[in-house]
Amino acid sequence: MKQKEWFTQEHRIFQESARRFMAKEVLPHIEKWEQEHLIPRELWRKLGDQGYLCPWLPEEYGGLGVEYTYSIVFQEEVVRTTFYSLATGLRVHADIAAPYIFRHGSEEIKQRILPGCVSGETILALGMTEPDCGSDLAALRTSAVKDGGDYVINGQKTFISNGINCDWVVLAVRTDPQAPRHRGISLVMVPSDAPGFSRGRRLDKMGLRAQDTAELVFEDCRVPQEYLLGKEGQGFPIMMENLSQERLAICLGSLVQAERMLEMTLDYVKTRTAFGQTIGSFQANSFKLAEMATEVAIGRTFYESLVDSFVAGEDISTQVAMGKWWLSEMANRVAYACLQLHGGYGYMEEYPICRMSRDVRALPIVGGSTEIMKQIIARGLGL
C-alpha cells in the first residue's frame, strides 16, 4: 500500500502510542461497556491525559497544536480496536462539536469550554436531530426566544450521542420562525445544568451499544445570549461547513470495520472445516472473499485520496458524499457475507462478527442517509 504523503514519523509514534493505550485501557473492558450501554467518564479523562482528545486545538486551549491528521490516525486506532462502539462518541465530541466552538464561539466561551474538552473533564454532544426532523435539518422545531439577556429554549432532541454523559450541548434551534427555513436557525451552547434542561430515556439501540444515546428535553430552558455560536440565523451554513469532516470520519469507520471483518473471516475460513476441507477452499466461498478483498482495497484507495484532498484544503463535499454512501454500504455487504461464512458461530455474541454486523448498520443512516448522499452527488453533477 502506498505510504500516505502526510504520514510522518511523528504520526507513527502517535499511532503506536494510541494502539498500546487502546489495547490496555479499552479492549479488556469493551464487552462490559457494551452491556452497560455506557462508557465511563474515567476513560475520557485517561484519553485526555494522553493527548488524544482534540489534539488539533491550539496550545492556548490545552491542545497539542498539531494538524487534524493526528485525529484521523487516532480515529482509525479506536475503530480498529472497538469495532466503532467507542468511535462515535469520541468523533462527535472531538471532531464535530468542538470545531463548532473553536471556529464560531466567543473567546470567553472558548476559554471556558475547550480546555476541558482536551482534558476529558468536559464531554460535548451535538443536538440536531428531532423526533420529526432527521436528514431535513431545516425542518427543526426547537425554538429559542429572547427574554432579557437570555434565550428561552423549548423542544426535544433525539438520537443524541453522548446524551447521558454530556456536559455541554451544541444545540440547533430556531431563533426566527418567520424567516425562510434555512435562515432562521442558530446554534447555541447549552450546559447540562441549565434550568429547564433534562435528559430523557437512554435509547436501546440495535448496535453501537457501548455508546450512550439519549433524548434531550428543553422546557423553558434558559441560557445567556452570549452562548450563541456565530451570528443569529447563521446556524444552517455553519452546520453545513462541518459536514465534510464528519462524513470523512464515517468513511474511515466504514472502511476500517470492513477491513477488520474481512481479516477475521479470512482467519476463520482457513481453519474451519466442512466435508473434509477448509470452507475457504470451496470455490464459491473463495470467489466471495476475492470480491470482498477487492472492494475493501478499492475503498482504502478512495478514502486515502479523500484525506489527501481534505488535508490540502480542497472542497470535498461531493466526493466525500460518494465515499460516505459507497463505503458504508460496502461495509454492510461485507458484514453480511462475513457473518454468513462464519455460519452458526457468526450468529453468536461471543464472535465479534455478530456485534460488528449490528454496528455497521447505522453507518448508511448517520451523518446523512445514503439517499441524501446521492442527492448531494447529483447536485454536484449539476443535476
CA distances from 148 to 223, 225, 370 (A): 11, 9, 43
Choosing from 34, 130, 215, 246, the catalytic residue is 246
Q: Label the pairing between strands 168-174 and 124-127.
A: parallel
Cα 323 from Cα 383, distance rounded (Å) = 19
DSSP 314: -
Specify the residue for cell string 503506536.
16
| Alpha-carbon separation of residue 342 from 34, 266, 273 (angstroms) | 22, 10, 11
DSSP character at residue 42: H
> CA 190, CA 212: separation in Å to the nearest integer?
19
The H-or-E segment that residue 188 falls in is strand 185-191
In 3D, which of 49, 30, 223 has the Cα closest to residue 119? 49
Active site residue 350: no
Amino acid symbol at 334: V
Give the active site residues: 246
